[in-house]
Amino acid sequence: MNTTVRILTATLLFGFVAVAQASDPKATIADLDARLAKIGAPKIEGTEVVGGKTVPAIFFGERKINNNYDVVDAIRRAHQATATVFVKDGEEFVRVSTNVLTPEGKRGVGTQLARNAAHAALSKGQQFCGPIDVLGTAFDACYNPIKDKSGAVIGVSYVGHKK
C-alpha cells in the first residue's frame, strides 16, 4: 500500500470514528455533565418563572441555569445534539434550560419530562439511555440525575441525537 493510500485510509477511518463519537449519547451526556460540573456544584436556591411556571431555581456554583442557554447551546454546536437541564419540582422534572424546540419553534422551557422509562429510572436516581420520544420526535438519548451534596435528586441532564 503506497503512502497516499495509507493517508487516505487513515483520514477516512478517523472521520468515521469522529462521526460515531459525535452521535454517541453517552459521550455527549458526559460532555454536558462535565461542562456543568466545571461551573460548580449543583444546588437549589429559591424559585424562578420558566415558561410561565414558577419552579425551583437550579444553580451550578453561582450560575443560575433556569432561562440560561449557554451550556445547552454549546452542546448543540459541539455534538449536533439536543440538550436540556430539568429541575425536580415535586414528582415532576421541568425543563428550565433547553435547545429543544416546540412545534411553534420556541424553546420547550416549562414543559415536563413525560412519564416514561426515563422518568421511572430518574425517579430512582438512576441513569437512562435508550430510544425516547421528546416532544414528538424520536431520539437516541441519555438522561442523568443531578444530585445535590446530600445525594438528593434535584434535577436531570439530558442529551439526544435525532434518529
Q: How do strand 92-98 and strand 53-60 relate by DSSP bridges? A: unpaired
Across 89-118, average pLDDT: 93
pLDDT of residue 64: 98
Burial 26-38 (b: 16+ CB within 10 A, else e): eebbebbeebbee
pLDDT of residue 5: 36
Contact between 36 and 42 (Cβ < 8 Å): yes
Task: For domain 3-162, give its CATH number from 3.30.450.20, 3.90.550.10, 3.40.50.150, 3.30.43.10.
Answer: 3.30.450.20
Measured CA to CA, the distance from residue 26 to residue 142 in angstroms comes to 6
Across 98-126, average pLDDT: 93
Domain boundaries, the chain: 3-162
pLDDT of residue 39: 97
Strands in 128-134's sheet, in edge-to-edge order, are 92-98, 82-89, 153-162, 137-147, 128-134
pLDDT digit string, tens, across residues 57-102: 999 999 999 999 999 999 999 999 999 999 999 999 999 999 988 8
Higher pLDDT, 21 or 58: 58
Q: Give phi and psi for 144, each to the nearest 5.
A: -120, 140
Q: At what angle do helices 70-79 and 25-39 cross, to 10 degrees?
A: 150
Q: What is the pTM of this model?
A: 0.85
